[in-house]
Chains A and B, each alone.
Chain A
Amino acid sequence: MSDNYQENEDFVTFFIAGQLFGVPVLRVQDIINPQRITPVPLAPPEIAGSLNLRGRIVTAIDVRKRLGLPAREGKDCMSIVVENGNDLYSLMVDSVGEVLAVDESSFERNPPTLDQRFRDYSQGIYRLDGRLLVILDVNRFLDYGRSADAA
């Protein structure tokens, strides 16, 4: 499944701590404004809680915390809702950018020196004009069985 990027060249982009990220547009269900979130006691710290999106329960994950970055200032943030298995997850990000169509030839594998957490969740990098787009590996990002201990 990690080869998704070759079929989808369209990415929904978002910013985390100034870095541009992208998720394949086909994975994205929704972009939502700040919502009322019910915290889940005893859950891993990066799980902000659950919310109700049109009758479905969505688990909200703070992308910053998952990547081991400091918490963002100000409470409100946008979220990108993705589906994994039969469950919906909302990825809380700093801000949501535009949808980008990128040229496949500008793709590169992760540099080996990349920070461990970034490397874990990055599918690869696209060289864009003046900036780099990190492709979030949604499957691995949401695969808690694999890396629950890393938290």
Chain B
Amino acid sequence: MDDLLSEFLTETGEGLTTLDVELVKLEQNPNDSELLGNIFRLMHTIKGTCGFLGLPRLESVAHAGENIMNKFRDKELSVTPTGVSLILECLDQIRDILQTLEATEKEPEGDDTDLINRLNAHAEGGDQAAVPPAESPSAPVEAGMDRLDHIPDDDDEEDELEKAFRLALGPDELAAKAVEVAAPAPEPVAEVVELKPAPAPKSVPKSAPPAAPAAESTTSVANQSIRVSVEVLENLMTMVSELVLTRNQTLQILRAHKESDFATPLQRLNHVVSDLQEGVMKTRMQPIGNAWAKLPRIIRDLSHELDKKIDLVMKGAETELDRQVLELIKDPLTHMVRNSADHGLEIPSERIAAGKPETGQVILNAFHEGGHIIIQISDDGKGLNTDRIRAKCLENNLASEADLEAMSDQQIQQFVFRAGFSTAAAVTAVSGRGVGMDVVRTNIEKIGGTVELSSTEGKGTIFTIKIPLTLAIVSALIVECCKERFAIPQLSVVELVRTSAHSEHKIEHISETPVLRLRNRLLPLVTLRDLLKLSDPEAEGEQGETTELREDNFIVVSQVGTYTFGIIVDRVFDTEEIVVKPVAPILRDIQLFSGNTILGDGAVVMILDPNGIAAATGEIAVADADMGGYEDRHAAAGEEKVAMLVFRSGEGAPKAVPLALIARLEEVDLTHVESSGGQHVVQYRGQLMPLIPMQPDMKLEKEGRQPVLVFSDRERSMGLVVDEIIDIVEDRMNVELSAEKQGYIGSAIIAEKATDVVDAGFYLTQAYPDWFGSESGKENFESDRSRILLVDDSPFFRNLLMPMLSVAGYDVKAVESASDALSLCEDGETFDVIISDIEMPGMNGFEFAEAVQENHRWSKIPMVALSAFASPADLVKGRAAGFRDYVSKTDRGALLTTIQDTIAELKGAA
């Protein structure tokens, strides 16, 4: 039997049993609203699943029952024994249908019109039920059934249910039809009818299925599996993890004693623990097909919407992986499939012109490979247009022309994963909803996976995702550097190379950068010692010589995406199964570690994060190398593009907020929202995150999902609840200011629409009144507040930063040009810190800084440069001009910290 169907049977069976009990309880306590809500939810779930599986008969019965429950819940109808009996009758009917369904895997033929009518009548008028017209319009439902019945009865490999699913009407259509059925019912006919007992359901299928042996039907599917709460499994997993650790420790001790009586029993223990680990892991395993269940529907809708013919092929749906991992990849996968269908495949006419079959294919393929799961999403569409990506990179200043010249096509294609990148020329309703491939990559990397793409123009694109089977226990390589041990997840280790001055592999230097010749390629190297700023206790004497490499080194060749690099370490030990534990919050912002663990000998070691290492060294150097040059061009162009997230909330114009302020976009499951102290909160990454509705009068639903913009500042997060996220738009900002409405900075034309620009700070302080004040408060206990001069030509940023700095306890004066600032100087004003933009019309930031240095009155005032981008090259240039520090405009935290440090230093010196 199909997994989906048997799961449905189990679930619904349980649901029905609970419903029976709950309904009886309800009859006794008709006013228990919690009970009512519970019953309604159960009923609703049953209905929803039926619709999803394409079981129209069940759905229509459940729907009618749900109707009444809905009225009970909304207090439109009082709970009466008659009503409850009707619902119970409805449940019995569902149970009957389910039984046949279980035996034959098909819905029995039959007519529930009578029951449905009585249910509907009750829903409309309580006991004063009116008889609907005799010829009840059940035709649409039957139409749906007809389509179901027309499934050819061949027994080929293809899953029947899946076929039925494709043939059947979508749940929405069905629901619509079911409503149609229900709607005409309340035609009021004066006659009052007594309620007849339900006719015996005609649940005997027309042609009894030959392939349903009696023995099988006695053991109901519903009893073959039990449901265990995920929590129990998680706990079990944690215990096993601990057991594995203890086993490792014991084995370590055993190794020290060659001849031991414990050897044999410990070996046995070792095996049992391994088996146990495997067994428990298995309980958490789910076929990846579960994550794919929604996709056929999505593809079907897409093909209608986009007028494309799309065939979705799913291979290896039975490949199993950890449910935690499964949950985490569900959304990225959906997004990627959507992307392939929307951006990848061409419309039929283009396909024919290109000599391809009219119907495009999106192929999903999952398989195991060496402790990992590989998921490939490929399409036979037009492939990535490297030229367009190149142009887009230049346009968005992701790389310079010279960089792009030097890159291979494949390297250029990887830019698709960069933030702020979408190749679709037009944003459709389907994809390009702003949350792009960069989010996909981030999500996959978060679970220790990698994603790569390769594309041939005109042929198609293949995305390859490689993820670990499980998150809890990973195999890691233990290395040593300066007498400290570290773990590197095996997943990202490609190979190990030993170098010495005399062997064939030796480390060479270009300037001071170490590289290694490896199979005719130059491999960039990073030294772990420098990266972690470690010093060897034995080599203490020759300090400062940290870049001096020893003769013998081990190089761990690692791969992150398509970027391969070597990590130089002192020694390499063996690999060990480690249990990843998160690091303390204090240490969480150290990018280079993904966690820590306890090794077999009981020592704590840090787990290195190859992604973090790549980000901290190589990858950035490759892609962002020429930022300095870009700044100049940027200044010449004299325009400042800001990426804005456009969303909808409440009535009126769309709203926008600078993307840089947003930490993440999330969809919050409303069933998880709790209320605490009059504030909505939700558990988010192990902490409680307050949810602030964008509209004060906005009511949160009890269930469903709601988009939330997450703002984070160090440990704290806050979610702004909005109605819908529309898009990310990168545009020049011309904000028309208005201080009339609280919470808004003003309005601007974004994507040719008048848009309200939201003052994020207003909402942040709603969640935490001291959001901005907390860090700086103590710096300003002296009675006079520090004065800050803010020079920025963009009214948008002036208005963004001014309130923020004021809230943080500074006295801020903002001017729009360097010359205005200098005239303030002549007027005799004085400040504690000057913060200045770099790109400004007239005198730019660097010139301004030089002018200030030359001016006697102001030459002592520390200056902080502010720019949309801050790269090392800018830093050097800024320092030369006289700036003390260089901060990215959109990084509030860094700005506040810098100001605070600057002032603290100033006070210390005075």
* A pairs with B: yes
Binding site for B on A (CB under 8 A): 36, 38-44, 47, 49-52, 55, 57, 59, 85-87, 89, 116, 120, 142-150
B604 touches A51 (CB 8 A): yes
Task: Report the Cα distance A59→B587, complex, angstroms.
Answer: 9
Contact of B778 among A47, A59, A116, A143 (CB under 8 A): A116
Task: Report the Cα distance A120→B484, complex, angstroms.
Answer: 34
Stretch from B69-77, B365-373, B590-598 forming part of the interface with A:
B590-598
Asked whether A41 and B585 contact (CB < 8 A) given A50-B604, A57-B598, A57-B604, the answer is no
Contact of B775 among A39, A52, A116, A149 (CB under 8 A): A149
- Between A and B, 19 residue pairs with Cβ closer than 8 Å are A36-B602, A39-B484, A40-B587, A41-B533, A41-B592, A41-B606, A42-B590, A42-B592, A51-B604, A52-B603, A52-B604, A55-B242, A55-B245, A57-B581, A59-B587, A86-B686, A116-B778, A145-B715, A149-B901
Quote the shortest CB–CB distance from A4 to chain B (angstroms): 18
A37 to chain B: closest residue by CB: B604
B486 to chain A: closest residue by CB: A41
Cβ–Cβ < 8 Å partners of B714 in chain A: 144-145, 148
Task: Report the Cα distance A85→B596, complex, angstroms.
Answer: 18
B226 within 8 A of A: no
Cβ–Cβ < 8 Å partners of A143 in chain B: 715
B484 touches A41 (CB 8 A): yes
Contact of A38 among B484, B581, B585, B900 (CB under 8 A): B484
B606 touches A38 (CB 8 A): yes
B584 touches A87 (CB 8 A): yes
Cβ–Cβ < 8 Å partners of B597 in chain A: 57
B603 touches A142 (CB 8 A): no
Task: Report the Cα distance A38→B597, complex, angstroms.
Answer: 11
B585 touches A85 (CB 8 A): yes
7 tightest A-B CB contacts, nearest first: A145-B715, A41-B532, A145-B714, A59-B584, A50-B604, A38-B604, A144-B586
A59 to chain B: closest residue by CB: B584
B843 within 8 A of A: no
A-B contacts besides A43-B587, A146-B775, 16 pairs, CB < 8 Å: A38-B485, A38-B605, A40-B587, A41-B533, A41-B592, A43-B586, A49-B604, A50-B583, A52-B598, A57-B581, A57-B596, A57-B597, A57-B598, A120-B778, A145-B713, A146-B774
B687 to chain A: closest residue by CB: A85
B778 touches A142 (CB 8 A): no
**Which of A59, A142, A145, A150: most chain B Cβ within 10 A?**
A145
Task: Report the Cα distance A65→B645, complex, angstroms.
Answer: 43
Task: Report the Cα distance A89→B590, complex, angstroms.
Answer: 18
Cβ–Cβ < 8 Å partners of A89 in chain B: 584
B587 touches A147 (CB 8 A): no
Task: Report the Cα distance A148→B597, complex, angstroms.
Answer: 25
Binding site for A on B (CB under 8 A): 242, 245-246, 484-485, 532-534, 581, 583-587, 590, 592-593, 596-598, 602-606, 686-687, 713-716, 774-775, 778, 897, 900-901
A42 touches B532 (CB 8 A): yes
Cβ–Cβ < 8 Å partners of A50 in chain B: 583-584, 596, 604, 606
**Which of A44, A86, A120, A149: most chain B Cβ within 10 A?**
A149
Cβ–Cβ < 8 Å partners of B584 in chain A: 50, 57, 59, 87, 89
Cβ–Cβ < 8 Å partners of A144 in chain B: 585-586, 714-715
B585 touches A42 (CB 8 A): no
Cβ–Cβ < 8 Å partners of B485 in chain A: 38
Asked whether A40 and B606 contact (CB < 8 A) given A52-B598, A144-B586, the answer is yes
Cβ–Cβ < 8 Å partners of B713 in chain A: 145
A145 touches B596 (CB 8 A): no
Cβ–Cβ < 8 Å partners of B778 in chain A: 116, 120, 150
A59 touches B590 (CB 8 A): no
Quote the shortest CB–CB distance from A137 to chain B (angstroms): 14
Task: Report the Cα distance A52→B686, complex, angstroms.
Answer: 22
Cβ–Cβ < 8 Å partners of A49 in chain B: 604
B598 to chain A: closest residue by CB: A52
Task: Report the Cα distance A148→B484, complex, angstroms.
Answer: 25
Task: Report the Cα distance A121→B54, complex, angstroms.
Answer: 62
Task: Report the Cα distance A87→B687, complex, angstroms.
Answer: 12
B585 touches A87 (CB 8 A): yes
B528 to chain A: closest residue by CB: A41
B245 to chain A: closest residue by CB: A55
B598 touches A55 (CB 8 A): yes
Quote the shortest CB–CB distance from B218 to chain A (angstroms): 48
B774 touches A43 (CB 8 A): no
A59 touches B586 (CB 8 A): yes
Cβ–Cβ < 8 Å partners of A146 in chain B: 774-775
**Which of B583, B587, B597, B774: most chain A Cβ within 10 A?**
B587
Quote the shortest CB–CB distance from A1 to chain B (angstroms): 13
A52 touches B602 (CB 8 A): yes
A36 touches B775 (CB 8 A): no
Quote the shortest CB–CB distance from B194 to chain A (angstroms): 62
Task: Report the Cα distance A146→B484, complex, angstroms.
Answer: 30
Task: Report the Cα distance A44→B589, complex, angstroms.
Answer: 11
Cβ–Cβ < 8 Å partners of B775 in chain A: 146-147, 149
**Which of B593, B604, B714, B897: most chain A Cβ within 10 A?**
B604
Task: Report the Cα distance A55→B241, complex, angstroms.
Answer: 11
Task: Report the Cα distance A11→B858, complex, angstroms.
Answer: 53
Cβ–Cβ < 8 Å partners of A120 in chain B: 778
**Which of B242, B246, B606: most chain A Cβ within 10 A?**
B606
A88 to chain B: closest residue by CB: B584
Quote the shortest CB–CB distance from B587 to chain A (angstroms): 6
Cβ–Cβ < 8 Å partners of A145 in chain B: 585, 713-716
Quote the shortest CB–CB distance from A149 to chain B (angstroms): 5
Task: Report the Cα distance A51→B586, complex, angstroms.
Answer: 15
B770 to chain A: closest residue by CB: A146
Quote the shortest CB–CB distance from A81 to chain B (angstroms): 13
B595 to chain A: closest residue by CB: A57
Task: Report the Cα distance A7→B371, complex, angstroms.
Answer: 53
Task: Report the Cα distance A38→B778, complex, angstroms.
Answer: 33
Task: Report the Cα distance A147→B583, complex, angstroms.
Answer: 19
Cβ–Cβ < 8 Å partners of A36 in chain B: 602-603
Contact of B586 among A39, A44, A52, A86 (CB under 8 A): A44
B579 to chain A: closest residue by CB: A55
**Which of A38, A147, A148: most chain B Cβ within 10 A?**
A38
A36 to chain B: closest residue by CB: B603
Task: Report the Cα distance A57→B532, complex, angstroms.
Answer: 21
A116 to chain B: closest residue by CB: B778
B776 to chain A: closest residue by CB: A149
A40 touches B242 (CB 8 A): no
A112 to chain B: closest residue by CB: B781
Asked whether A38 and B590 contact (CB < 8 A) given A86-B686, A87-B585, A145-B715, the answer is no
Task: Report the Cα distance A39→B775, complex, angstroms.
Answer: 27
A40 touches B590 (CB 8 A): yes
Quote the shortest CB–CB distance from A79 to chain B (angstroms): 14
B242 touches A142 (CB 8 A): no
A55 to chain B: closest residue by CB: B242
Quote the shortest CB–CB distance from A85 to chain B (angstroms): 7
Task: Report the Cα distance A144→B714, complex, angstroms.
Answer: 9
B775 to chain A: closest residue by CB: A149
Contact of A47 among B245, B586, B598, B604 (CB under 8 A): B586
Asked whether A42 and B533 contact (CB < 8 A) given A145-B714, A149-B900, the answer is yes
Quote the shortest CB–CB distance from B492 to chain A (angstroms): 19
A148 to chain B: closest residue by CB: B714
Cβ–Cβ < 8 Å partners of B603 in chain A: 36, 38, 52
Task: Report the Cα distance A147→B901, complex, angstroms.
Answer: 12
